[in-house]
Amino acid sequence: MNIEWTSDLATGVAEIDNQHKEIFSRFDRLFTACSEGKGKEEVLLLLNFLADYVKEHFAAEERLQLRNAYPDYPNHKAEHARFMADVAKLQAEFKAEGATLSLVIMTNKTLTSWLTQHIKKRDTEVAAYIRQEGGR
Protein backbone atom coordinates (compact mmCIF):
# COMPACT_ATOMS: atom_id res chain seq x y z
CA MET A 1 0.00 0.00 0.00
CA ASN A 2 1.71 3.15 -1.21
CA ILE A 3 0.88 6.22 0.86
CA GLU A 4 1.96 9.65 -0.30
CA TRP A 5 2.22 13.06 1.31
CA THR A 6 -0.53 15.41 0.17
CA SER A 7 -1.09 19.06 0.98
CA ASP A 8 -4.19 18.25 3.07
CA LEU A 9 -1.79 16.76 5.64
CA ALA A 10 -0.03 20.08 6.17
CA THR A 11 -0.08 21.44 9.69
CA GLY A 12 1.08 24.88 8.61
CA VAL A 13 4.23 24.48 10.71
CA ALA A 14 7.14 24.01 8.30
CA GLU A 15 9.27 22.01 10.77
CA ILE A 16 6.47 19.49 11.44
CA ASP A 17 5.40 19.28 7.79
CA ASN A 18 8.97 18.67 6.63
CA GLN A 19 9.41 15.95 9.24
CA HIS A 20 6.17 14.29 8.16
CA LYS A 21 7.32 14.43 4.53
CA GLU A 22 10.57 12.71 5.50
CA ILE A 23 8.69 9.92 7.29
CA PHE A 24 6.50 9.41 4.21
CA SER A 25 9.61 9.37 2.03
CA ARG A 26 11.29 6.72 4.18
CA PHE A 27 8.17 4.57 4.13
CA ASP A 28 8.06 4.89 0.36
CA ARG A 29 11.61 3.51 0.23
CA LEU A 30 10.48 0.44 2.17
CA PHE A 31 7.41 0.06 -0.04
CA THR A 32 9.54 0.30 -3.19
CA ALA A 33 12.10 -2.15 -1.79
CA CYS A 34 9.34 -4.62 -0.92
CA SER A 35 7.89 -4.42 -4.42
CA GLU A 36 11.38 -5.19 -5.77
CA GLY A 37 11.89 -8.10 -3.37
CA LYS A 38 14.45 -6.14 -1.33
CA GLY A 39 12.38 -5.32 1.76
CA LYS A 40 14.68 -7.23 4.09
CA GLU A 41 17.58 -4.95 3.20
CA GLU A 42 15.55 -1.77 3.72
CA VAL A 43 13.70 -2.67 6.92
CA LEU A 44 16.70 -2.19 9.24
CA LEU A 45 17.45 1.20 7.71
CA LEU A 46 13.86 2.28 8.29
CA LEU A 47 13.72 0.98 11.86
CA ASN A 48 16.97 2.71 12.79
CA PHE A 49 15.79 5.93 11.18
CA LEU A 50 12.45 5.80 13.01
CA ALA A 51 14.02 5.04 16.38
CA ASP A 52 16.10 8.21 16.21
CA TYR A 53 14.01 10.54 14.09
CA VAL A 54 10.64 10.20 15.76
CA LYS A 55 12.06 11.21 19.14
CA GLU A 56 13.03 14.58 17.68
CA HIS A 57 9.82 14.83 15.69
CA PHE A 58 7.54 13.94 18.60
CA ALA A 59 9.34 16.40 20.86
CA ALA A 60 8.72 19.19 18.31
CA GLU A 61 5.05 18.25 17.96
CA GLU A 62 4.56 18.07 21.71
CA ARG A 63 6.21 21.48 22.27
CA LEU A 64 3.81 22.93 19.70
CA GLN A 65 0.83 21.34 21.43
CA LEU A 66 1.89 22.58 24.85
CA ARG A 67 2.57 26.08 23.55
CA ASN A 68 -0.95 26.18 22.10
CA ALA A 69 -2.64 24.53 25.10
CA TYR A 70 -3.93 21.66 22.96
CA PRO A 71 -6.60 20.01 25.13
CA ASP A 72 -5.95 16.43 23.99
CA TYR A 73 -2.18 16.66 24.53
CA PRO A 74 -1.97 13.79 27.08
CA ASN A 75 -3.65 11.33 24.71
CA HIS A 76 -1.60 12.51 21.76
CA LYS A 77 1.61 12.13 23.76
CA ALA A 78 0.52 8.62 24.79
CA GLU A 79 0.05 7.68 21.13
CA HIS A 80 3.59 8.85 20.46
CA ALA A 81 4.87 6.67 23.31
CA ARG A 82 2.99 3.64 21.96
CA PHE A 83 4.47 4.13 18.50
CA MET A 84 7.99 4.40 19.91
CA ALA A 85 7.35 1.18 21.85
CA ASP A 86 6.14 -0.50 18.64
CA VAL A 87 9.32 0.55 16.84
CA ALA A 88 11.45 -0.73 19.74
CA LYS A 89 9.59 -4.04 19.59
CA LEU A 90 10.28 -4.33 15.86
CA GLN A 91 13.96 -3.53 16.45
CA ALA A 92 14.13 -6.22 19.15
CA GLU A 93 12.60 -8.73 16.74
CA PHE A 94 15.20 -7.76 14.14
CA LYS A 95 18.02 -8.30 16.65
CA ALA A 96 16.58 -11.67 17.70
CA GLU A 97 15.62 -13.09 14.31
CA GLY A 98 17.04 -10.86 11.60
CA ALA A 99 15.17 -9.40 8.65
CA THR A 100 12.47 -12.02 8.31
CA LEU A 101 9.52 -11.69 5.96
CA SER A 102 7.31 -11.48 9.05
CA LEU A 103 9.29 -8.49 10.33
CA VAL A 104 9.07 -6.72 6.98
CA ILE A 105 5.30 -7.26 6.92
CA MET A 106 4.86 -6.09 10.53
CA THR A 107 7.01 -3.01 9.90
CA ASN A 108 4.98 -2.21 6.82
CA LYS A 109 1.71 -2.70 8.70
CA THR A 110 2.84 -0.65 11.72
CA LEU A 111 3.95 2.29 9.63
CA THR A 112 0.93 2.18 7.32
CA SER A 113 -1.34 2.27 10.36
CA TRP A 114 0.63 5.15 11.85
CA LEU A 115 0.54 7.19 8.66
CA THR A 116 -3.15 6.64 8.06
CA GLN A 117 -4.40 6.80 11.63
CA HIS A 118 -2.12 9.23 13.40
CA ILE A 119 -0.74 11.67 10.86
CA LYS A 120 -3.78 11.80 8.59
CA LYS A 121 -6.25 12.05 11.47
CA ARG A 122 -4.72 13.05 14.80
CA ASP A 123 -2.02 15.45 13.58
CA THR A 124 -4.42 17.20 11.22
CA GLU A 125 -6.81 17.64 14.19
CA VAL A 126 -4.00 19.34 16.10
CA ALA A 127 -3.26 21.58 13.12
CA ALA A 128 -6.93 22.54 12.80
CA TYR A 129 -7.09 23.40 16.52
CA ILE A 130 -3.98 25.54 16.29
CA ARG A 131 -5.28 27.38 13.22
CA GLN A 132 -8.61 27.96 14.97
CA GLU A 133 -6.90 29.28 18.08
CA GLY A 134 -4.57 31.54 16.13
CA GLY A 135 -1.41 29.48 16.67
CA ARG A 136 1.45 30.43 18.94
Neighbour count for residue 81 (Cβ, 10 Å): 10
- CATH number of the domain where residue 128 is located: 1.20.120.50
Q: Give percent helix, percent strand, percent coil of the chain, each to the nearest 5.
A: 80, 0, 20
Q: Residue 102 domain-assigned?
A: yes
Q: How much is the pTM? A: 0.84
Q: Residue 6 domain-assigned?
A: no
Are 56 and 103 in contact, with CB atoms under 8 Å apart?
Answer: no
Q: Residue 100 domain-assigned?
A: yes
Q: How many domains does the chain have?
A: 1
User: What gap in Å lies between CA 79 and CA 54, rounded to an integer?
Assistant: 12
Q: Residue 80 domain-assigned?
A: yes
pLDDT in tens, 53-90: 888 899 999 999 999 999 999 999 999 999 999 999 99
Give the C-alpha distances (Å, rounded to integers) separating 121 from 21, 95, 115: 15, 32, 9
User: What gap in Å lies between CA 104 and CA 33, rounded to an integer?
Assistant: 10
Q: Residue 115 domain-assigned?
A: yes
Domain that holds residue 110: 13-133
- pLDDT band at residue 2 using 50, 70 and 90 as cut-offs: low
Q: Residue 113 domain-assigned?
A: yes
Q: Residue 8 domain-assigned?
A: no
Percent of residues, the chain, with pLDDT higher than 70: 97
Give the C-alpha distances (Å, rounded to integers) separating 9 from 6, 75, 104: 6, 20, 26
Q: Residue 1 domain-assigned?
A: no
